[in-house]
Amino acid sequence: MGVTVIVRVLETMPASPGVYRMMNAKGDPLYVGKAKNLKKRVVAYTHPERQTLRIQRMIAETASMEVVTTHTEVEALLLESNLIKKLEPRYNILLRDDKSFPHILVTGDHDWPQILKHRGARTRVGEYFGPFASAGAVNQTLSALQRAFLLRSCSDSVFASRTRPCLLFQIKRCSAPCVERISRPEYLALVEEARAFLSGQSQRIQRELVAKMEAAAEAMEYEQAAMYRDRIRAIAKIQAHQDINPAEVAEADVVALHQAGGQTCIQVFFFRAGCNYGNRSYFPQHTEAAEPGEVMAAFLGQFYADKQPPREIIVSQEPAECDIVASALSEKAGRKVVITVPKRGDRKRLVEHAYDNARDALGRRMAESSAQGKLLQGVAELFGLDAPPERIEVYDNSHIQGTNAVGGMIVAGPEGLMKSAYRKFNIRSDELTPGDDYGMMREVLTRRFKRAQKEDPERDRGQWPDLVLIDGGEGQLNATLEVFADLGVEDVPLVSIAKGPDRNAGRERFFMPESAPFSLEPRDPVLYFLQRLRDEAHRFAIGTHRARRSKGLSQSSLDDVPGIGARRKKALLHHFGSAREVAGAGLADLEAVAGISKAMAKKIYDHFHPQG
């Protein structure tokens, strides 16, 4: 263990660039580091007396090491950032954020392109514009884009089944290509205008629309002129939302760092195509002694590990080993990426604005953390816990007469709601009686804690709750106790929270094992905190249930037939009126549909009338 292990590894360690990993006796990663010369860097750990207490603890825990050599230090930095993001070693500076950024997608896999919000892997053919800092920023921009360019937002299946224009056409947010109220060349011209606008040519598009409006007015085509006027207003509305939008910053991220009280907030503003696409706050985890340049370098490496870097990154604080970080990002992007610390001008003002946002966000977070700590201490005292809980899990179910049943789990801790840890459970059991809340709760908790036993048997990876809250009364409590008894789960505090008489908030009753039910004073801040957690679990479960139900309503049985695309589906629905009529149609009837060959008709018929 410790220095002995490191000395033994040093005997065969090369003096070349690479990445090293230090692991404890369980094989869990403690630290991931990179070096231009591995041997020279790692030998420092053989003198723990020269290190900080934190690093001394890390050295003492080290039971094994792994080394990966690279050709250059830049490659080592890229590998280090990816491994830190993937493994989350306890002794590294960590950026804990798994949210992907939303983009606007103009599809390229359909004759009539669609404009929509996209998040996740770029698997669909088309052009992606962004990133946007939030779904709200995308939705606001999309709404204005629909008014400006009248592009469809409906899915391909809805598009194929339309027989008359939808409401969006009536309120002048779509040109109704689904029923050919616009010719394809005219629609594609609108698509090109939208692409040009999103690519930074908004001024040109606006000038062209003004010219068309004036020409239409001179020709006394006033209805057409009014349409151009409305589109110009929509474009102006998008431009008006750009709070800070210096003309000389076309594609850049502005990254500002503020430290206080041993914590850090990093604020990122996104500028693309000359437009401000919003901002977001980050709070990387690190020791109190971490230097700003060290934190900035770690942040940039991990932030862009799974994102495309822009051409320019404007920072408030020069990252440690700035040249290497810039070279690594350039290699990842396949083009030059510049990191600058501006001293004057518009870029300096941008950084100052981002820094002010970072300072304010950190101040709010520290105030919220202090209040949250007091509430968690109150929860511990109320339920007799040994210490304030670090992880509270709250469970609720949702269904309508047993259909589309789902369970929801939300998680809260010292930093507030931990939305990345939320989980949904589609109820799978066919043996449950519709509406059996106890049975659903048993299934959800069985699946949750079986997984915890498998993935974190020693309870040292943060996957076990310090408190479980169940929405319900004594029946739900007993159902949960049965699950815990069956699985052998012990030492997990359990409380169920039931609404009071007439389901009035403020008169809730709390049920605990081997205790009499009790209530709190209506104005107790701990009661209000627990109500918020219960309501959040209810909101999450209801939202998950509605999404599942909506998905079922929007799907058609024709979607499952191999070879049925948008056009054939549209032809079938126009001919028969509904998917149910298609399913019941005879072979000869199917063959009579325009665009449906005899072979395809046979395939459709066989799908709905399987033999044997």
Fold of the 252-271+280-363 domain: Nucleotidyltransferase; domain 5 (3.30.420)
Name the residue type at position 407: G
- Determine whether domain 3-87 maps to CATH 3.40.1440.10: yes
pLDDT in tens, 116-134: 999 888 889 999 988 888 8
Q: Are the beta carbons of 394 and 534 closer than 8 angstroms? A: yes
Tally of CB atoms within 10 A around 306: 13
Q: What is the overall mean pLDDT for the chain?
A: 87
Helix, coil or strand: residue 156: helix
What does the alpha-carbon distance between residue 374 and residue 110 come to, in Å, rounded to a whole number? Answer: 55
Name the residue type at position 487: L
Name the token pair of 53: 């207490």
Question: Which of 12-21, 91-100, 242-251 is predicted least confidently?
Answer: 242-251
Report residue 432's pLDDT band, with 50, 70 and 90 as the boundaries. Answer: low
506 Rama class: left (phi>0) / alpha (psi -120 to 50) / beta? left
Q: Are the beta carbons of 148 and 197 closer than 8 angstroms? A: yes
Q: What is the DSSP string of 287-340?
A: -TT--HHHHHHHHHHHHTTTS---SEEEESSPPTTHHHHHHHHHHHHTS--EEE
pLDDT in tens, 586-609: 888 888 888 889 888 888 888 888
**Bridge partners of 470?**
395, 496
Check whether 417 has a pLDDT greater than 60. yes
Name the token pair of 10: 């040093």
Name the token pair of 530: 């627990």
Q: What is the mean pLDDT of residues 386-393?
A: 94
Name the token pair of 584: 């019941």
What per-residue confidence (pLDDT) applies to 359? 92
What backbone phi and psi angles, to 5 degrees, belong to 40?
-65, -35
Sole residue written with tokens 């999450």: 540
pLDDT in tens, 473-510: 899 999 999 999 999 998 899 999 988 665 555 678 99
**Can you give the residue ranges of every domain in the chain?**
3-87, 103-240, 252-271+280-363, 392-456+463-552, 557-608
Closest CA to 89 of 267, 393, 298, 365: 298
Q: Report CA Rg, the chain.
A: 30
pLDDT in tens, 329-369: 999 999 999 999 999 888 899 999 999 999 999 988 888 78
- Find the Cα–Cα–Cα–Cα dihedral 354, 359, 365, 369, rounded to 10°: 160
Question: Which of 64-68, 108-112, 453-457 is predicted least confidently?
Answer: 453-457
What does the alpha-carbon distance between residue 458 and residue 90 come to, in Å, rounded to a whole number? Answer: 17
Query: In the CATH scheme, what architecture does the domain 392-456+463-552 have?
Result: 2-Layer Sandwich (3.30)
What does the alpha-carbon distance between residue 347 and residue 503 come to, in Å, rounded to a whole number? Answer: 55
What does the alpha-carbon distance between residue 143 and residue 498 come to, in Å, rounded to a whole number? Answer: 41
Name the token pair of 417: 């709601």
Q: Widest CA span of the chain, in angstroms?
A: 90
Fold of the 557-608 domain: DNA polymerase; domain 1 (1.10.150)
What per-residue confidence (pLDDT) applies to 556? 64
**Percent of the chain at pLDDT above 70?**
92
Helices 184-198 & 135-149, crossing angle to 10 degrees? 140
User: What are the distances in angstroms from CA 42 to CA 1, 12, 293, 354, 556?
Assistant: 15, 12, 22, 37, 61
Helix, coil or strand: residue 245: coil
What does the alpha-carbon distance between residue 558 and residue 607 come to, in Å, rounded to a whole number? Answer: 10
What per-residue confidence (pLDDT) applies to 551? 56
Q: Do the two domains 252-271+280-363 and 392-456+463-552 of this chain adopt the same fold?
A: yes
Q: What is the mean pLDDT of residues 27-50?
A: 92
pLDDT in tens, 7-27: 999 989 999 999 999 999 888
